[in-house]
Amino acid sequence: MLLGHNDAYTQDVKMQVIVAFNHFGEGLVQLMPRCRCRHGYFHVVNNDYTHWEIYAIGGSANPSINSQVNRFFAPHNLFQKKVTKPKDSTEGNWRLVGDLILNGAFFIASGVGASSNYAKASSMEARPSSIVGSITTNSGVLTCTPISNY
């Protein structure tokens, strides 16, 4: 899940994305979203993250990432507990609000925490992190029937 053209494409500062109600499970290395969350505002809400191999959420080019009431269940490997991966340690404005952090997972916030960037986007209302498992149970690829004559 790559969201943003490249670090030099500053028009992405206008981008506002909500990533909601997904289950990111075993076998995923990164990009959940690595959104390569570039420049814009990203509301990551009510997702279920389990067994990532490098990190769950990443970004570059000073994004604002609002992680809200997700469930993060870290892999058992001691070196895979980090939830976030900014391109560099001072990049962007990342905050965590009400997330359920399990099995030694940890989230590194950055920036000013409650910036105006969070207020300028119209984010959806989050559900409690304790029910993320039940609201993501049926997440996955949609089975669609192709329309032949439109």
Asked if pLDDT for residue 87 goes beyond 90, the answer is: no
Which of 48 and 85 is assigned the larger pLDDT? Answer: 48
CB within 8 Å of 81: residues ≥ 6 apart: 74, 75, 103, 104, 105, 106
Mean pLDDT of the chain: 78
d(C-alpha 44, C-alpha 30), whole Å: 15
Instruction: Decide: 61 and 94 in contact? Cβ < 8 Å.
Output: no
Question: What predicted TM-score, i.e. pTM, was given to this entire model?
Answer: 0.77
